[in-house]
Structure formats: C-alpha cells, structure tokens
Amino acid sequence: MYRLHFGVESRGATSFEDGDTMKLENGSLATPLESDSVATVRAGRADFPILSTLINGNPLAYLDNAATTHKPQSVINRIQKFYAAENSNIHRGVHTLTAQATDIYEEARSALAQFVNGFSVDEIIFNRGCTEGINCVADAFASPAELWQHPSGLISPLSEGDVILVSEMEHHSNLVPWQIAAAKSGAVVKAIPITDSGDLDLDEYQALLKMNPVRIVAVTHASNVIGTVNPIQLLAELAHQHSAIVVVDGAQAVAHLAIDVQNLGADFYAFSGHKMFGPTGIGVLWGKQTHLEAMPPYQTGGGMVREVTMQKTTFAQVPAKFEAGTPNIAGAIGLAEAARYLAALANGGSGPASIDKMRPQLQSSFAALTLVEDQLLAHALQALTPVKGLKVLGRPHHQLPVISFVLDGVHPHDLGTILDSEGVAVRVGHHCCMPLMRRLGVPATTRASLAFYNTDAEIERLIDAINKARSFFGEP
C-alpha cells in the first residue's frame, strides 16, 4: 500500500507542482496524476449525488468523512432494488423470494470475505457496525468458561489479574467495552502510551508485554482524530509472542487502505459499512474461525440455534451463531455493493467488480486512491500551516487524510458553526476520544477528514472560511 510518510522532523506538508514527485511508502517516486487510474478515481466524485447539494447557499464541501462517508449511486440503487423487487426474510424458507434473498445475502458475505482477504467466508459476521463487533468480542472474553466451547490457550475467558492493553488514541468503542469486560472478570485495563508526534510508543508497548500477563491488545488501525496508522502486523507479531490476542478497530482504515487480514495477523478485525461508502447500521466482525467457534454467542434468539429443548439449547455453527434474529439484509447487500464499488473504482469505471475479480481490483483501486488522498492531505497541511494561531495536533509518521487542529481564540464549536455557514462541513468536539484529548492537552478540536472525492478547491474553501472566523472573532 502506498501511503505518504511524514517524519517527526519534517511533518510539514510538501507542495506538489506539475512534474514534482513524492516519496511513497515503498521507496519509489510518483508524480501526481501520473496514471489513468488516478484520474478515474478523481472522476468518481460524480458518483455521489449528495456532493452536488447546496448548504446555506454554498456548494457542499464535505470534510467530515471520518464520521461517515457518502454513498455512491450504485449503493443507493442496489438497496432500492432489494426492497422493490427482492425483499424477503432469509433462511428457513422454501418460496422463491426467500431463496433468492438468502442467496444474495450469502453472496454479500462472500464479497466481504474477499474485501478483507479472509481465510474463510464463515469468518464474516454481519452486525450493526464496528462498535457491536468489538462489544461481541469483549463480552465473550468476560463470559464464564462454561459458556465457551473447548476454551484453551489464547482463546479462553479473562480471569483475575489478566491485563488488557488499550492504546491512548482509541475511540471509546474500543475502550469502554474492555473496561466493562475487566470489571466483570477481574482483569485490568492498561494504556499503551503515544508519543508527542501521535505515534504509538513501541518501546513502551514491548515493555508492557514483557512486564504484564497481557491477554488482549485492543488497538485502532487508524486514529479517527489525528490519522495515525498503526503498524498492526508488528503489533500482532509482538503480542502473539506473549500469548495475547489482538482486536483491531478498523473503522477508519477500510475507506483508505486495502485490508488484508491474513497479512495483518490480528485475531479480530471490526469495521462499519458507513465508513466505507456503504449503508449505516451494518458492519462486519472478522475473526479467525477457530476463535469464533470457541466463543459463546453475543446475542441469542432465532436463527443462531441448532436444537432447543425446555432444558437446553445448542448453537449453530459460525457465522450463524453470532447473527441472532433477522439481520440487516438490505444493509449487508448495500455493504457488499460498496466493496464492489471500491474494487472497480480505478478500473476503467466498468461497474461494480464481480466477487472473483474483487481482490486484484481492490489492490489497484486502493493504490490509485491513496495517491489521490496523499496529494489532498499534503495540500491541506500546507494550506493550514500559515494560518495565524492555528495548530495542527499530532505529527504521526504514517497518516491518513484526517487532520485535527485548534485555533487561538475560537472554540471548535464556534468555528464549526461559521464553517457550516460557508457550506464547509467538519466535525468538532472530542470525537469520542476523551483520553486522547487529555493526552493532547485540549478539550476539543476541529477535524477535517478527507476522502478521494474531495478536491483542492474544497481545501481552499476551508482555509478561507477559517480566516473569516478569525476575523469575526477579532483575531489579528
């Protein structure tokens, strides 16, 4: 994966003019807009109808993609088609519509298995989103041993004195569930600190692994506040050396990086559909099949049982064991369409990718998407730097296009309101990361988060709106 690296010493953005080059993660040099695939990715903006919306009389400049991404027309159409022509409940039926809906739903599971490069389609658990996926894992490890199926080794419930490592940059969704699990089991949550640059402190991480009976490492793939991309493969390798499992919050990464769970080496990986141009209310928990088979179910009800008597219930095999009740069928279908859309994005605009072609197409699409986003990130950082009184928080070595900043004399909520009056949508507040806010020494920030469909002109509108806010509040 190509992703621009900013060292601590040279965190300032680089200006890219015609003919300039930039250094990629693999060490090679690339010129902006050097390929047809990059141009095709940029043209993908036209696939998103909401981006033509006017806000307060101004064209929408949507810079809030870390909160949710917009949906291409193909995803909207696919969901509409399901409800208009294919709607039925799935499984346990013999009529035509239910058989058809079941096939489409299971095809969606196959598409998501390809999207993350899972070992097996049965490792894909559909749920409401990343938050529910993490809660499913945390709840299992806080459950008593008698609910587990043959627990052993890494895969067994937490007990008194076990340690759960959680990074300081985590979203509350990957912290609070572990606090609850610790309270139920007698385990202890300890923080993996971050450096002043916003990177994980790997020396401290290794020391924590060596000095504590660590059972679980919970870490985000990418920070939703400062964009830090964590080295999941290395973190997992080190954790496994100490018999700990690794649970990854992938919510921010899935729209920017080609996820390969086999290569990452984590034990669980959770993400949400709405963060990757899919519907809300749907997500995926990927887990190693042996782990999922050992764990107790998170919820119980119809569809997840094998046999029920008045005295005892036995559970279905995975993935059904973790999908109690009627699932979000349309959401799963829409999410699969979003995955196909991303796979086809840089491949000639030939329409959503078929499942058998998805993996190789994903690699090429994300390579081009990354070039586009890195150029946007560099432009944004360069444009923000000279704004008087503005401070960008965090200078991570490896950064997604997510930028948090504070502005002297202007509260983030006031700034966000003024930006909105200019049609510029950003996110303000603590971003569900209160421990990280404390580490950064601020109560709240303004966050601009970019996607491939954003433009240089929208970044300039952000800067103009910030300067208007400074003038409004009398800042010199």
Tens of pLDDT, residues 80-116: 999 999 999 999 889 999 999 999 999 999 999 999 9
Q: Cα–Cα distance between 33 and 434 in angstroms, integer?
A: 39
On the question of pLDDT at 453 being above 50, the answer is yes
On the question of pLDDT at 8 being above 90, the answer is no
> Where are the domains positioned within the chain?
22-70+359-472, 76-340
On the question of pLDDT at 10 being above 60, the answer is no
pLDDT tens-place string over residues 157-168 = 999 999 999 999
Q: Which residues are catalytic?
A: 432
Q: Which of 30-44, 77-91, 130-144, 210-224 has the lowest mean pLDDT?
A: 30-44
Q: How many residues does the chain have?
A: 476
Task: Read off the pLDDT of each residue in 15-30 and give the average, rounded to a whole number.
Answer: 37
On the question of pLDDT at 3 being above 60, the answer is no
Fold designation for 22-70+359-472: Aspartate Aminotransferase, domain 1 (3.90.1150)
Q: Which of 144-153, 199-208, 345-354, 363-372 has the lowest mean pLDDT?
A: 345-354
Give the CA distances from residue 473 to residues 442, 461, 467, 470, in Å, rounded to whole numbers and listed in that order.
Answer: 20, 19, 10, 5
284: tokens are 């995926």
Under DSSP, the state recorded for 81 is: H
Q: Cα–Cα distance between 98 and 104 in angstroms, integer?
A: 10
Place of tokens 């080609």: 258
Among residues 85, 131, 108, which one has the least CA distance to residue 274? Answer: 131
Question: How would residue 250 be classed by pLDDT, with cut points 50, 70 and 90?
Answer: very high
Among residues 299, 304, 229, 308, which one has the least CA distance to residue 264? Answer: 229
Q: What is the pLDDT of residue 304?
A: 93
In this structure, the number of other CB atoms found within 10 A of the CB of residue 36 comes to 11
15: alpha, beta or left, given left = phi > 0 and alpha = psi -120 to 50?
A: beta
Amino acid identity, position 247:
V
Whether the Cβ atoms of residue 81 and residue 446 lie closer than 8 Å to each other: no
Mean pLDDT across the chain: 91
In this structure, the number of other CB atoms found within 10 A of the CB of residue 183 comes to 11
On the question of a common fold for 22-70+359-472 and 76-340, the answer reads: no
pTM for the model stands at: 0.92
The values of phi and psi at residue 367, to 5°, are -65, -45
Q: Cα–Cα distance between 398 and 230 in angstroms, integer?
A: 8
- Does domain 76-340 fall under CATH 3.40.640.10? My reply is yes
